[in-house]
Amino acid sequence: MDWNLLIGQATVNGLIVGLLYLLMAVGFTLVFGVMRMVNFAHGEFYMLGAFAAYFFTTKLALPFLAAVALSFVAAIVVGSLLEWFILKPFRKDELNGMIVTIGLALILQNVALMAFGPDPVSLPSIASGATTILGVTVANSRVYVVGFAVLVLLLLYAFLRHSRAGRGLRAVVEDSETAAIQGVRARLYYPLGFGIGVGLAAIGGALMAPLFSVSPFMGQTPLLKAFMVVILGGLGSIPGAALAGLCLGLLESYSTLFLSTSTADMLIFLLVMVGMLAFPRGLIGRGEA
């Protein structure tokens, strides 16, 4: 057993998975930052994004990238509408808002169940074969997915940093009252924030769809991971979520290498709980206490 190789492989695996967690967590923390809502339906948007990608590629025969983009747009629209019509009374109402999102999750998952049935479906692979760099083998399809994910993140970064809407969003996340005083129309940013947040989840789902199968139940695990990542990274902190996402991916990958899966899972939960108690403001200290 070549340890260097194994660790190298585990690192690559961990980063890829970490990227997915990152996408989920950033969206999740964005929603929390804008609306102070723990969105239990976040995993269901991941699932809907995957189904949208499935639908666009298999039924409408669109190329993969177009399908992903379309899923994102659809998610933003649906998310904004849901926010406007259902979640509006619960903005800033933490606990009730959370329970409402539980209800939303139940509805979304079961609508998907009724529409698509319980069996998992598969997308055709977007690439076949594998690349080997420095002894570490990565499936080509995963390489593509990583590429797209990085692209999405760069676009997100540019949006948040350089566009007016993006800066307004960041302002609302950091301090909505001051933002309001400065003239940022918070009323517009709620639907936008929610829409983009769940849109990111949908992109995550769409990107991962060719790698894993697509089923109405697939959103549960990513939701759980999103929880853990934002706990570690600090609720409301986007850079914290990004860093914690990658860390969690790597941590999982390494611990699975050395420990049995269940021990690894338990260890991670324990670490998350300890982390939350030790670092209430998140790993880099920029979240809320």
Partner 1 sequence: MNRVTRNALGMMLFGAVTLQAAAQETLKIGALVTLSGPGAAWGQAMKNAAELAADKVNTVGGLEVGGKKYRVEVVAYDDKYQAGEAVTVANRLVFEDKVKFIIGPTGSAPTLAVQPITEKNQVLTSTLGFTNKAMGVDKPFSFRPVVTTYEFSEPQIAWMVKNLGVKKAGGLFPNDESGQVIARDLEAAYKKNNAELTAKEFFERDRVDFVPLLTRMLARGIDTIELDGNAPGTAGLITKQARELGFKGRIVRTGGPATAELLTVAGKEAAEGMMVHAVIDANLKSTSAYIDAYKAKYKSAPNGFSPSYYDFTGMLFEAMRRAGTVTDSAKVRVELEKINDYAGVLGKLGWTGKANYGVDHQLAVPFYVAEIKNGVEVIRARCTVTEGCN
Partner 2 sequence: MTTQLTAGRPAPRTSSAWKLPHGRKLAVVGTAAAVLAAAWPWAAGQFVLHLAILSCINIVIVNGLSLIDRSGQLSFGHSAPVALGAYGSVLFSSMFGLGTITAAALSLLVGAVVAGLLGWVILRLRGVYFVLVTFAFAELVRLVLLDAVSITGGANGIAGIPPLSIGGFAFDSRERFYALALVLAIASVGFMVWLFDRPLGRAMTAVAANPALAESTGLSVLRMQIVAYIGGSVLASLGGVLTARYIGFISPESFATGASVAFITMLVIGGRKSLYGPMVGALVLTPLPEFFRGAVQTQHIFYGAALILILRFLPGGIAGIVAMAAARRAKP
Task: Mark the segment that binds partner 1 (CB under 8 A) among 54-62, 148-156, 214-222, 277-285.
Answer: 214-222
DSSP string, 219-271: THHHHHHHHHHHHHH-TT-HHHHHHHHHHHHHHHHHHHHHS-HHHHHHHHHHH
Task: Mark the segment that binds partner 2 (CB under 8 A) among 52-60, 121-129, 151-159, 265-273.
Answer: 265-273
Distances from the Cα of 251 to the Cα of 6, 150, 239, 264, 270, angstroms: 14, 20, 18, 9, 13
Task: Mark the segment that binds partner 1 (CB under 8 A) among 55-63, 182-190, 228-236, 258-266.
Answer: 258-266
Which of 4, 103, 260, 273 touches partner 1 by CB under 8 A? 260
Q: What is the 3-state secondary structure (H, E, C) of 88-138?
A: HHHCCCHHHHHHHHHHHHHHHHHHHHHHHCCCCECCCCCCCCEEEECCEEE
- Residue 250 engages partner 1 in binding (rule: CB under 8 A): no
Alpha-carbon distance of 212 to 87, in angstroms, equals: 31
- Residue 252 engages partner 1 in binding (rule: CB under 8 A): yes
Alpha-carbon distance of 264 to 276, in angstroms, equals: 18
Which of 212, 250, 267, 276 touches partner 1 by CB under 8 A? 212
Q: Which amino acid is at 288?
A: E
Task: Mark the segment that binds partner 2 (CB under 8 A) among 152-160, 237-245, 247-255, 269-277.
Answer: 269-277
> Residue 253: which of partner 1, partner 2, none does it interact with, CB under 5 to 8 A by kind?
partner 1
Site string for partner 2, 134-173 (x = CB under 8 A): ----------------------------------------
Cα 96 to its chain centre, rounded Å, is 23
**What is the C-alpha end-to-end distance of the chain, expressed in Å?**
45
Number of residues that bind partner 1 (CB under 8 A): 39
Which of 24, 206, 228, 248 touches partner 2 by CB under 8 A? 228
Segment 83 to 142, residues that bind partner 1, using CB under 8 A? 113, 118-122, 124-125, 128, 130, 132, 137, 139-142
Alpha-carbon distance of 105 to 109, in angstroms, equals: 6
Give the three-state DSSP class for 139.
Answer: strand
Which stretches of the chain bind partner 2, using CB under 8 A? 32, 38, 86, 89-90, 94-96, 98-100, 102-107, 109-111, 113-114, 220, 224, 227-228, 231, 235, 262-263, 265-266, 269-270, 272-273, 276-277, 280
